[in-house]
Structures are given as structure tokens and as C-alpha cells.
Amino acid sequence: MLEENISRRRFWEKSTKAAVGALTTSFSMSRCRSQERVASEIERYNPKRDGGCAVAFGYDMDMPCAGVEYLYDRNLGWPRDGECVANGHLNEDVRTYVRLLASISEDYGLGLQFFVQGNTFEETEDAALWTEIAGRGHAIDSHMYNHDSLLRTPVEEIRSQLTKTKNLIERHCGTENIGLRGPGGYENALHGREDVQQVILDVGIRWVTTQFQRSVQGTDQSWIDMIPSQQPVYYPTGLLEVPFCGHQDRSFFDVDMGGSPRPVTEWSSYLEGCVNLALKNNLWLSLTTHPSTSFKHDPQALYLRNIFDYCSHNPDIILCNYQDLFRWLSAEKNRV
């Protein structure tokens, strides 16, 4: 067991000396990271106790619709209710960009987190993409089947979509699907919706990321200042909530989401500000991005290299994915 109140640097030194081996759990860490990262002692990491901060990037692959190649364009707007009800597919730009993001993260020994709609698996090229990405050690979890709201969709339809998507992920990717991104995000998360929480648990999902604050006004710092209130929490049902932290890239850049076409350098500076606050306060930092949005504004994904460089020079910052957050938090919940 870890010593209490050790620094993140000592935590890291201690973990790398520990005995290592492959995890036997179905939600194993990314195989592209060093074997030291799967040591038993790092399984119990908590920034509040061990120092530093944990920074996770989650990529939402949202809203491919029937007959539409998926490259979201703010000038075209969102599909209207009822349009996004059948199979869609990603376009080649997005598939190529996903592979670029994966390659960049692998250069830093990290596996990314992708939240994927079930309907993408109905297209041969898209299914092959996610099989490849999972095989390279990246985490794949659910974003519903049709990007339908968890708050407005009947619970039996939620059950059907989650079950179908879970089966597709597990069959194509060979990994257990126990995570879910709530399409669109909700200011009050799933509080007061125990019926939805229970259906999610019933199908085998153990953690969700649904809470997103939409009503922030003012500067980027206003978004950053909210991060301490956007920390993971367990609902009484036992389901874990991992809130969106701060801006999404979409709310930063895209006009119809409240953003504006800003320089990528400002996005990088904003992300550094998020990391700085998380490090200062020993927080979990769960960031939300969309390949279709980032591709339009930063086709070379320079922001990702910039923020990984920024984090990798500080041994008190752990880069991880949402599955790692769940493992650490569930271990902490069960800590004796």
C-alpha cells in the first residue's frame, strides 16, 4: 500500500520499482504505455493523497447519420431530431485524423480514450478503424448508438442502444465496454434520474461522463475556475460520474456552440491553464474533444503535442485516459 501524503515524484519512483505484470481485469491499461504503469501500486493513485494531478483526454465520435459522411460543419448545423436514426459513417479525413491522434499519443506512451457511437460499427471501414485503434492499446467506450440524449430518451430505448453498442464494441475491439459518454452533456448530470442510472448499471456500464456546464459566460479563466467543482462523484446507486472539465473544443471554437474561430495557440494556452489549476489543487482533469472539430482548426493536431510536451516535463502530472480514472477511483472507493 502506498505511503500517505507522498509527493507525486516519490509516488512515481515507488511505482516504477514495483513488481509489474499484465492486469487481469477487463479494463486493462493501454498496452502502449510502459509496463511500470500497470504496477499494483499505481492502481491506487489519488492526486489528493499522492500529489500531482491526473489529466485525461476523451474524444467524442458523435453524430454520423444515414447517407452523411461525418465531418461536422458548423455552417451546416446539427441534424434535426429524428434525422440521426440510422447508420452513418466517418469520412476519410476524420479516420486519418483519429490515426494521427493515436500516433501522437503513442509517441508519449499514452493510450487515448474514444467514445464511439454504435452505428459507426455498421460501416466496414469504421469498424476496421476501431478494431485497429483498440488493438493499438487505446480505450473504446460507448456514446450510445444514435447519439440520443440520456435525459429525453425512454429508458427502455436507452437499454436497447447501450446493449447494442456494448455488444458491438466488445465484439470488434475485444475489450469490455463499461464506460459511457452522455451525448450532449447535461448541466445537472444524471442527478434525480435514478431510473436512467439503474438501466445503465443493469447493462454493465459502471461509469459515465455526462455533466457539462453550458452556461458559463466570460473569459477562458471562467471555465478554468470551474474545474474544482467538476470532480468525479459516485451517485447513491453506485454509478460513477466523471464530469466534463471546462471547455470542449467545440464550445471553444465553434460559433453555434458559443465559441469562435480562434487561433490554436489560444486553445493550447487554455489547456495549459487547466493543467496548472489541476496541478495546484491536486485534481482529476477530464478533458473533452471532438476529432471532427479539432481537425477543422488544427489538422496537424499541434495542440496535442504541445500539451503532452507541457505535461511530460513535470513528473507530478500523470497523462491517462478515462478508464484509468475509473480504475483509480474504484480502487479508492474500496480502499480499506
State the CATH architecture for 8-333. Alpha-Beta Barrel (3.20)
pLDDT along the chain (336 residues), means of 10: 39 38 31 40 77 94 54 43 48 89 95 93 90 97 93 97 98 97 93 98 98 79 94 96 92 72 92 97 95 88 96 93 93 73
Burial 136-151 (b: 16+ CB within 10 A, else e): bbbbbbbbbbbbbebb
What are the angstrom distances between the C-alpha of 122 and each of 219, 263, 316? Answer: 41, 36, 42
H helical segments located in 82-177: 92-107, 124-135, 155-173
What are the angstrom distances between the C-alpha of 48 and each of 31, 51, 252, 327, 332? Answer: 26, 6, 29, 16, 11
Strand ranges for the chain from DSSP E: 53-61, 69-70, 89-90, 113-116, 139-142, 179-186, 207-211, 233-234, 240-241, 284-289, 317-320
| Mean pLDDT score of the chain | 81
How much is the pLDDT for 14?
A: 41
What are the angstrom distances between the C-alpha of 226 and each of 178, 231, 246? Answer: 27, 10, 7
How much is the pLDDT for 96?
A: 92
Cell of 80: 434535426
Distance in angstroms between the alpha carbons of the first and the last residue of the chain: 10
| Prediction pTM value | 0.84
Q: Which residues, 6 or more positions from 276, have their beta carbon under 8 angstroms from its beta carbon?
A: none
R_g over Cα of the chain: 19
How much is the pLDDT for 21?
A: 28
How much is the pLDDT for 118?
A: 92
How much is the pLDDT for 326?
A: 94
Where do the domains of the chain lie? 8-333
Residues in the chain: 336
- Residue 17 CA to residue 5 CA, distance in Å, equals 18
How much is the pLDDT for 258?
A: 64
Q: Which residues, 6 or more positions from 47, have their beta carbon under 8 angstroms from its beta carbon?
A: 8, 53, 54, 278, 282, 283, 284, 318
Cell of 97: 485524423
